[in-house]
Amino acid sequence: MFPRLHFAVCFTAVLGPTLVHTLCPEAVNSSSLIQSLFPGALLNAIMHIFSFRVSDVLVCNETQRVSFWFVVTDPENTSELISGKDVERAVRISRNRINNAFLLTDETLEFLNIPPTLAVPAESGTPPWLIVFGVVIGVVGVGIIALLISSFIQKRRKKGVTEGEEEDCEEEACDKGNGVSHPVEEGADGVNRGFVGDIPFTKL
Amino acid sequence: MEKESRPSWEQPAQFVLACVSYAVGLGNVWRFPYLCQMHGGGGFLIPYLIMLVLEGVPLFYMELAVGQKMRLGSIGAWSAISPYLGGVGIASVVASIYLCLYYNVINAWSFWYLFHSFQEVLPWAECPLNSNHTGYLDECRKATATQYFFYRETLNITSAISDGGGVHVGQALCLLLAWMVVYLCIIRGIASTGKVVYFTATFPYLVLFVYLIRGLTLHGALNGLKYMFTPKLEQLANPTTWINAATQIFYSLGLGFGSLIAFASYNHHNNNFERQAIAVSLINSSTSIFACIVTFSIYGFKATLNYESCLERVKLLLLNTFSLAEDTINVDNITYWITELNKTHPNQFADLLPKLESCDLEAELDTAVEGTGLAFIVYTEAIKNMPLPQLWSVLYFFMLLLLGLGSMLGNVTAVTTPLRDLRFVTHYLSNETTNGLVCLFCLVLGLGFTTRSGNYWLTMFNDYGATFALLLIVLIEIISVCYIYGLEQFAKDIEDMIGHRPNWYWKIVWAIVSPLIIIMLFIFYIINYIMGGTPTYQAWDKDLGQSVTTPYPPYAQAFIILLLVSSIICIPLSALYTYCNRYTDKTDTLPK
């Protein structure tokens, strides 16, 4: 926020030459004053936007900060004013150009009662977060599938080996207890777990 | 068919890192700094460290000892301590399931924010425009842009818990991703987890360190640090300070969930867990303090920024109203000018008074926030003002993700380990399938938290799902180890494992001090719950643009009671079941 330049558009519903005087009793022919305030090139740019001449713009009611009211007269008939609504619309449409003409921004150049239309941020087709999401979930998915497949392959290989081992069982260390033969199983702490399953059945 | 021996950690370092990764979680980042601020800054460290020594380390040590000795998950381990105590293990598993359900939703949010950081303008930096592009959306104007992004875009939150709302598709997708990542990390049990924890335990420290440097070099950081470290020792007289310190230590170490027992059960029989227990507890607490420093430098930056913009606005207002020259007022002499102008132009100044904001740095720093509000609203606001915000945002949310993921690994392992101990599960289902089914189950139920009112349910689960149950579980654990199993027998087991008995300090703390502290916390929790009246929650009011304290509707209150009771009830039920079983067994063997 900076000290503001005010351009206040006088809303006049009633058009008439007398109104010009009531609104702007000390109205001066704008050319000298405005030209002293703003360089000619810029002024031409503004005037071009409005398609009016410098003399159609009357300046009055100056204040300490650079702020002023202005009314715009019809070029054909200088005693008629252009309605506030039309001027408002023109300002709204060409706001960007007006700002650029003064090398100011929406924050530094304010038209009272004409709120600036904010720029819409550029919207892309796919929201960018979906793209990143897609990449990450793809990588994770591939990782999971790869691990599952490798586990599956490892199990297959192991199965082949253990089937071979079970055939050897008949020759090597096998416990034949309760009529069932199974290889001696050792738990992690060296305890023979072969009988763990049988414990509930043994009654002392 | 050959039974596989119990899997074990490839390196003891994996076990330590797994415990660190589990214990160091989001709470270290978003709860501890809040407590520090609430209870007198640097002074809070005194009760915190005392509680760490009296309660944290001994209980941690005990859980590791039980797990390593019994070499089974929580259900099997406590059944081995005493057949009537299997329920304690079941209660732990239920609490872990509750935690798994909602904790991963927070990770989903981290993912959401992480993915949204890859934009030129961070989406929470500016408010979106209203329909005719003349200004910002109302809700966003009344709140802040970061609050709007969290409550509206991320959660699309409804105004009350009774307002269901549909599932937020973006959240659901992120939750799916979060569970897929968890599955990827636990797919082969600790063979996978052991490798992942090298990264999840260490990377957050790197980010915290980078943030420390960044934070300390931010303008205004020192204000925050000064504020935090100025001890207000009168807070030590407040019993709430000590209660909060004890509670924080308790929950921060993740006791009672069965995760520590599960991790330790994969240890080699002679692993020296005593040193590891002390190390992990100390690392956890130091991380909290470290995160506190980072948080407060960022708080300081944010508060100073807000304070200085406030001063700018006041200066502009004065300049414009009194038509002063540009350079007359600046930050240093603004108070002088205010008094001057009040004297010289009293009428004008009186008109100005309603518009004049009072700018107070202390007030800005006093806005203590915890939890998701701190992580997703306050931090993001600070980040958007840093140079290169996208980079800092990505780093920050990646760190949050790793912290959350590390804790999730522990919680899911606490559920899968007892499952894998059941023989019929191991017989019919492979490791990958069991883990997959657990993840799928939690994902499907967790989708409930991605609905528009999901955040309210999440807060309910967070506040009531595990808090009370854990206190009871750990109390029963310590009492049963000391008095049912026997302290002497326990000491002998430890000597068997690590070669020397625990010294008198441990014995006294286990037998007397820790149980007393937990009983005190327990009583305090019950009193708080009863005296608190109707439980309330913070509902987001989109017309006001802020949170409103709302009481829970009756069915939600009933659900709270269900949550509180459901895990605890397993303990007596299981004891009863075992008793009945034994009784029928005995009658069966009577001679006929």
Give which of A63, B467, B87 is closest to B77, Cα–Cα.
Answer: B87
Give which of B425, B463, B465 is closest to B445, Cα–Cα.
Answer: B465
| Numbered residues of the known binding site of B for Na(+) | 23-24, 28, 252, 284, 403, 407
Kindly state the average pLDDT of the residues B328-337. 77
Give which of B571, B498, B531, B502 is closest to B271, Cα–Cα.
Answer: B498
Do residues B478 and B59 make contact, with C-beta atoms less than 8 angstroms apart?
Answer: yes
Higher pLDDT, A94 or A127: A127
> Would the pLDDT of A119 be above 80?
no
Give pLDDT, residue A8.
37
Do residues B314 and B334 make contact, with C-beta atoms less than 8 angstroms apart?
Answer: yes
pLDDT in tens, B7-19: 999 999 999 999 9
Distance CA(A181)–CA(A198), nearest Å, equals 14
Per DSSP, what are the bridge partners of residue A68?
A7
Per-residue confidence band for A199, with pLDDT thresholds at 50, 70 and 90? low
Kindly state the average pLDDT of the residues B217-222. 90
Give which of B99, B88, B101 is closest to B22, Cα–Cα.
Answer: B99
A141 and B589 within 8 Å at the Cβ level: the answer is no
Distance CA(A35)–CA(A49), nearest Å, equals 17
Q: Which residue in chain A is spatially nearest to B267 when comparing CA positions?
A: A188
- Measure A60 CA to nearest chain B CA, in Å: 20
Q: Which two tokens stand for residue B477?
A: 């654990």
Kindly state the average pLDDT of the residues A61-84. 72
Residues 6+ apart with CB under 8 A from B426: B420
B313 and A115 within 8 Å at the Cβ level: the answer is no
Give pLDDT, residue B283.
95
Per-residue confidence band for B1, with pLDDT thresholds at 50, 70 and 90? very low
- Of A67-76, A127-136, B217-226, B556-565, the one with minimum mean pLDDT is A67-76
The helix or strand, by DSSP H or E, that contains position B295, with its residue range, turns out to be helix B273-322
pLDDT in tens, B475-534: 999 999 999 999 999 999 999 999 999 999 999 999 999 999 999 998 998 898 888 888
Q: Is the ipTM of this complex over 0.90?
A: no
pLDDT in tens, B440-465: 999 999 999 999 999 999 999 998 88
Kindly state the average pLDDT of the residues B165-185. 94
Q: Does B125 touch chain A (CB under 8 A)?
A: no
Kindly state the average pLDDT of the residues B347-355. 78
pLDDT in tens, B231-249: 888 888 888 899 999 999 9
Do residues A74 and A52 make contact, with C-beta atoms less than 8 angstroms apart?
Answer: no
Distance CA(B269)–CA(B277), nearest Å, equals 15
Distance CA(A9)–CA(B39), nearest Å, equals 57
- Of A38-52, B272-286, B338-352, the one with minimum mean pLDDT is A38-52
In terms of average pLDDT, the best of A14-28, A159-173, B547-561 is B547-561
Per DSSP, what are the bridge partners of residue A109?
A5
Residues 6+ apart with CB under 8 A from B336: none
- Of A88-102, B135-149, B299-313, B408-422, the one with minimum mean pLDDT is A88-102
The Cα-based distances of A143 to A3, B192, B234 in angstroms read 59, 12, 55
Please report residues of B whose CB lies closer than 8 A to that of A136: 111, 115, 177
- Measure A144 CA to nearest chain B CA, in Å: 6
Per-residue confidence band for A114, with pLDDT thresholds at 50, 70 and 90? confident
Closest to A151 (Cβ–Cβ): which among B115, B180, B188?
B188
- Of A124-128, B31-35, B67-71, the one with minimum mean pLDDT is A124-128
> Would the pLDDT of B386 be above 60?
yes
Do residues B306 and B534 make contact, with C-beta atoms less than 8 angstroms apart?
Answer: no
- Contact residues, chain A to chain B, C-beta under 8 Å: 1, 3-4, 64-65, 115-118, 120-121, 128-130, 132-133, 136-137, 140-141, 143-144, 147-148, 151, 155, 162, 165, 183, 185-189, 193, 203
pLDDT in tens, B390-405: 999 999 999 999 999 9
Mean pLDDT of chain B: 89
pLDDT in tens, B365-377: 877 778 888 889 8
Q: Which residue in chain B is spatially nearest to A181 when comparing CA positions?
A: B1
> Would the pLDDT of A56 be above 80?
no
CB contact residues (below 8 A), chain B span 410-449, against chain A: 430-432
> Would the pLDDT of B556 be above 70?
yes
pTM of the model: 0.81
Per-residue confidence band for A33, with pLDDT thresholds at 50, 70 and 90? low
Q: Does B176 touch chain A (CB under 8 A)?
A: yes
SS3 B314: helix
Give pLDDT, residue A194.
54
Please report residues of A whose CB lies closer than 8 A to that of B432: 147-148, 151
Query: Three-state SS string across chain A, please?
Result: CCCCEEEEECCCCCCCHHHHHHHCCCCEEHHHHHHHHCCHHHHHHHHHHHCCCHHHEEEECCCCCCEEEEEEECCCCCCCECCHHHHHHHHHHCHHHHHHHHCCCCCCEEECCCCCCCCCCCCCCCCHHHHHHHHHHHHHHHHHHHHHHHHHHHHHHHHHHHHHHHHHCCCCCEEEECCEEEECCECCCCCEHHHHHHHHHCCC
Instruction: Report which DSSP code applies to B550.
Output: E
B589 and A203 within 8 Å at the Cβ level: the answer is yes
Distance CA(B244)–CA(B241), nearest Å, equals 5
Give pLDDT, residue B445.
95
Percent of chain B scoring above 90 in pLDDT? 58
Higher pLDDT, A131 or A62: A131
A133 and B174 within 8 Å at the Cβ level: the answer is yes
Torsion-angle region of residue B422: left (phi > 0), alpha (psi -120 to 50) or beta?
beta
Do residues B133 and A120 make contact, with C-beta atoms less than 8 angstroms apart?
Answer: yes
A129 and B112 within 8 Å at the Cβ level: the answer is yes
- Measure A117 CA to nearest chain B CA, in Å: 5
The helix or strand, by DSSP H or E, that contains position B99, with its residue range, turns out to be helix B86-116
Percent of chain A scoring above 90 in pLDDT? 10
Q: Could you please report the per-residue DSSP string of B467-497?
A: HHHHHHHHHHHHHIIIIIIIHHHHHHHHHHH
Give pLDDT, residue B319.
81
> Would the pLDDT of B539 be above 70?
yes
In terms of average pLDDT, the best of B39-43, B87-91, B222-226 is B87-91
- Of A5-9, B273-277, B493-497, B552-556, the one with minimum mean pLDDT is A5-9
> Would the pLDDT of B323 be above 90?
no
pLDDT in tens, B125-134: 888 887 777 7
Higher pLDDT, B72 or A49: B72
Q: Around Cβ A152, how many Cβ atoms within 10 Å?
A: 12
